[in-house]
Amino acid sequence: MSQQSPSRKLTRRDFLKLGAGALAAAAGARFIPTALNKPSAARAGAQTPGKIVRLAASDGWIKVPGQVVIPGSDPLTPKYFSPDPLAPNGRTTYMFGFRDVTGWTEAEVVAQKGLAQHTAPMLWVNQGEELYLTLTNVGFVLRPDLIDAHSVHWHGFRNAIPYFDGVPQTGVSVPLGRDFVYYYNPRDPGTYMYHCHVEEVEHIHMGMGGSIFIRPAQNLTAGATLYPSGKYAYNDGDGLTGYDREFAIVLSEVWAEMHWNNAHIQLTEWTDYHADFYMINGRAYPDTLLPNRYDIDLGKQFEPGKTDTGDPLQYQPISALITAKPGERVLLRFVNLGYEVQTMAVDEIKMTVVGKDASHLKGRDGTNLYYEANALRLAPGETFDAIFTAPAFSGGSGASGLGYDAYSLYNRNYDNLTNGNGTGPGGQRTEIRIYPVLDPQLTPNT
């Protein structure tokens, strides 16, 4: 481990904190505190139209497979970036994140300190339905020395005014122990992402980001007249973006050294960036095949000893498994919240790409610009909407008779299917499973 110089250079963290301080001074001491002291609409019980969501920002721990050895440590008694020796209950990696605490009591919200999840909760809203999103900064448990502010930036949102855009250099960020209510009037359907924009390089990589969808008005106006389910990706006018099931595929990365540095109060040299683990919905294969963890206690019980079930995936609750029955149309909402270009492929099934970066692929004159593909290349910050039709059921995968047909959805770069320095496969791989009979889907990724 290298020693720090007594007179170190100004870091990116110092620079951004100085910038935030200058912004606050320029805005006037009365402006930001007044805005942040106002009680949230969700907490105050105000009769506000639209959808109300509340998120808590904090730190926590997740599980990734494999091991990453600290270079230069004794081969006979190696030390590890991952699993971090500070990690509790079978988890491995320190992170920052958000929790959905909508409708919770103040005591329950405060008790989420140290229980953040990865990736951030999926959010969705109807076109034209006003969204009031309260962000509460409850602080960090492992790093109480950090008094980082946080924000919510709706990446790609059109018509956002700076006050609600989450960029601290031009708007508002939320200091420790405070609330702020973001307001949005969503007009453009599609798949987006949201993330913290305070020290964004660090905070996004540490886990403060997730997916958000805008559902088109056609869902309500056209109903089942264009497609039987009455659910559409866009206002297509012809039902070609109709679907029966939808799944978010959120891609992210873990650089184990950087997460270890944050846990152990060390500086990170970002020019050395290299990911050790590649994730879908905050999980690495084979954990990507496991079901959602919404059915277990996610930490809402706040009495001592009842905040943690001991399940290693408790704070990675969103499954990456895709399920359908023959003939159903499945919408895959791809989101790249990592820092590398990824190519996700599925063999034997063609996907029809109907949207990119929350833009419907139709010309202004109505020309259909959809295209078919077996693989999608996603740059950082990009989203795709792709639909496939579930193939016929062939009787179960292989001789084992599992009761479903399995198709692999995976990163075409095999280097991203590794398990850190551990044995066996890992990374950005999951399955599309076709069952002969399946209950209707009520919420995404179920």
Amino acid 421: pLDDT: 72
Residue 65 preceded by cis peptide, ω within 30: no
Those residues whose C-beta lies under 8 Å from the C-beta of residue 271, and which sit 6 or more positions away, are none
Amino acid 66: pLDDT: 87
Q: Write out the two tokens for 128.
A: 């034209």
Residue at token pair 């959809």: 370
Q: What is the pTM of this model?
A: 0.88
Q: Write out the two tokens for 3.
A: 């020693």
Q: Where are the domains of the chain?
A: 12-434
Q: Write out the two tokens for 35.
A: 């805005």
Report the distance separating Cα 419 and Cα 173, nearest Å.
Answer: 36
Those residues whose C-beta lies under 8 Å from the C-beta of residue 180, and which sit 6 or more positions away, are 35, 36, 134, 135, 151, 172, 174
Other CB atoms within a 10 A radius of the CB of residue 431 amount to 22
Tell me which residue of 79, 80, 114 sits closest to 95, measured CA to CA.
114
- pLDDT tens string for the chain (446 positions)? 444 434 444 444 443 444 444 333 333 322 333 344 344 444 444 445 789 999 999 999 999 988 999 999 998 999 999 999 999 988 999 999 999 999 999 998 998 999 999 999 999 999 999 999 999 999 999 999 999 999 999 999 988 888 999 999 888 999 999 999 999 999 999 999 999 999 999 999 999 999 999 999 999 999 899 999 999 999 999 999 999 999 999 999 999 999 999 999 999 999 999 999 999 999 999 999 999 987 766 666 666 656 778 888 999 999 999 999 999 999 999 999 999 999 999 999 999 999 999 999 998 888 999 999 999 999 999 999 999 999 999 887 655 567 899 999 999 998 898 877 777 778 999 999 999 999 999 999 99
124-156 burial string, b = 16+ CB within 10 Å, else e?
A: bbbbebebbbbbbbbbbebbeeeebbbbbbbbb
CATH 2.60.40.420 for domain 12-434? yes
Amino acid 419: pLDDT: 79
